[in-house]
Structure 1
């Protein structure tokens, strides 16, 4: 078996693609899925995750619900404008009912259990707000040695999408994001929206997914509201599959080209709240001018073979039946 993986998620259309990508990949040992508030409230994100796993025939994968709000401040709003009222363009009913009961343990408890039981290091892919992961690292320092990498979809090097400065996942809980990204306790890879936007897929790609079989058809059926939103955001007919890009890197390390940068997160309450502050200056200049406390270096996804990445995701999702 290849990559041992746990996904932490707030489905979300792109999250659904990302879960399916891992669930259908033969070279992935998908140990579990944990859920968090985000695109829609926790009850909906949890149900959506269960239903995507049922679509993929993965009743073996446990699901546990986690944080229903940020660590410190209330969550200002959901992403209904992109993902629809239920997180899946209002079409979650096209997915089968869950085949497995929700775990009695909460998300952090399941994470600890899975990590302690693992005989090799595990990759965690948080593709929603980082609340569960911050709680895990703060309360259970002993599991850090069991974590290979934390591959995070979030942040932006340039402008944001939820505000002018901030990307949605980081903006949803900046304090949690800062705890994870700047702590230096685990190896982090940040996959920012600058790169995920470049990996956007067009109508032809979506048509191939739709025609690939029952799973691809069901995933395609979840996209109308999401596609309408991205038609406006992109200026052409397509979608951005943000979270699937991060999970692709979690599955196949090196599919994204990364560079190491110091990162901080703006936790103030001004217009830049939730911004990821990525210091791309030359190291020599940083050494001469740095006036603040040290922050951890994080690997940041900066480039990829765009067509290769799109093909990798489509090939994995275009599976006739689940495992």
Structure 2
């Protein structure tokens, strides 16, 4: 059985690998991609998504235009030194990508209705768009979504933007707070596990020679650019963490991640802006059951690397 997945992404190198992984994994039926600002400006994010879908022969998958910036209205800082000027490392999507059809937010409502109770939302970018759904349409707008698989936060480890905060939560902490409070059945994949989801240059070199997929030409240049940035930021690292593949793989491989139920809150302002907070004491304060989130605390990294490799070696992939 394939999971119907609506993906919120901001490609970005690791988001791009997440989109490729979703297209290649037979257990995922990708029903739409919400593409907004994050690693690149919104317009570039949409172009990158369109490029990846066209490479995969899946122009039938709707692209929904996301937000252009956070709810606070603050200016967004981009990270070309990590993701490249265009978001795909050194790769520039071809200029032939003209007249890409982009849907507005109402398309999200249509998709939720279409899959009526049989839809998973996977969010690997900023949480602005998900928060906007609650703001625009009310607290019950996403009640028919089965679960939310989110990459964000950091628990008992340092952040990657500040000493406390992970990027997806830090850039729009108001949105992160809103989503963690209002969404239900959340499976959160924070830095404490995604930092370890490392893919090595050896795996990438093997895939760049042997992957039969249409993404083969992208795999090595995009990864190498990203890996070089990580070698600068984390001296001695043996590969690069593909954070955004983790929630998709966890969805399709239920034994990949071990979760513990805790209520997650997000600091919205001040020096700890974007910090994710949960009570890890042996006897945490009691919280209403419906407010508990599932926080990923351990992941089988060997299985992560193996499943990633196997997926990119698939000879046939989903074409409609």
Runs of at least 5 residues in structure 1 that lack an aligned partner in the other structure: none
Residue 153 (1) aligns with residue 151 (2): yes
Once the two structures are superposed, the pairs formed by residues 210-229 of structure 1 within 5 Å of their partners are: 210-211=208-209, 212-213=211-212, 214-229=214-229
Deviation, structure 1 residue 295: 9.6
Q: Which residue of 1 aligns with 2:90?
A: 90
8 Å contact from structure 2 (residues 69, 76) kept in 1: no
Once the two structures are superposed, the pairs formed by residues 71-220 of structure 1 within 5 Å of their partners are: 71-93=71-93, 98=97, 101-103=100-102, 105-106=103-104, 108-140=105-137, 141-157=139-155, 158-183=157-182, 185-211=183-209, 212-213=211-212, 214-220=214-220
Equivalent-residue separation in structure 2 for 1:138 and 1:258 (angstroms): 29
SS of the equivalent of 1:68 reads coil
Closer, same or farther in 2 for the Cα pair 1:145/1:254, shift >3 Å?
farther
TM-score (norm 1): 0.90
Equivalent-residue separation in structure 2 for 1:100 and 1:143 (angstroms): 30
Deviation, structure 1 residue 142: 4.2
Q: Which residue of 2 aligns with 1:264?
A: 265
Q: Which runs of 4+ in 1 moved over 4 A?
A: 95-100
Q: Which residue of 1 aligns with 2:248?
A: 247
Structure with the largest fraction of helix: 1
Deviation, structure 1 residue 96: 9.1
Equivalent-residue separation in structure 2 for 1:75 and 1:170 (angstroms): 15
Supply the RMSD in Å over aligned alpha carbons.
2.3
8 Å contact from structure 2 (residues 91, 218) kept in 1: no
Equivalent-residue separation in structure 2 for 1:178 and 1:294 (angstroms): 18
Closer, same or farther in 2 for the Cα pair 1:97/1:277, shift >3 Å?
farther
Deviation, structure 1 residue 311: 1.1
Closer, same or farther in 2 for the Cα pair 1:172/1:280, shift >3 Å?
same
Equivalent-residue separation in structure 1 for 2:28 and 2:284 (angstroms): 41
Equivalent-residue separation in structure 2 for 1:113 and 1:83 (angstroms): 32
Closer, same or farther in 2 for the Cα pair 1:267/1:256, shift >3 Å?
same
Number of matched pairs: 313
Deviation, structure 1 residue 263: 1.1
8 Å contact from structure 1 (residues 10, 128) kept in 2: yes
8 Å contact from structure 1 (residues 123, 147) kept in 2: yes
Deviation, structure 1 residue 19: 0.5
Residue 296 (1) aligns with residue 295 (2): no
Equivalent-residue separation in structure 1 for 2:78 and 2:177 (angstroms): 21
TM-score (norm 2): 0.90
Closer, same or farther in 2 for the Cα pair 1:172/1:295, shift >3 Å?
farther
8 Å contact from structure 1 (residues 17, 244) kept in 2: yes
Closer, same or farther in 2 for the Cα pair 1:310/1:99, shift >3 Å?
farther
Q: Which residue of 2 aligns with 1:42?
A: 42
SS of the equivalent of 2:215 reads helix
Equivalent-residue separation in structure 2 for 1:178 and 1:254 (angstroms): 28
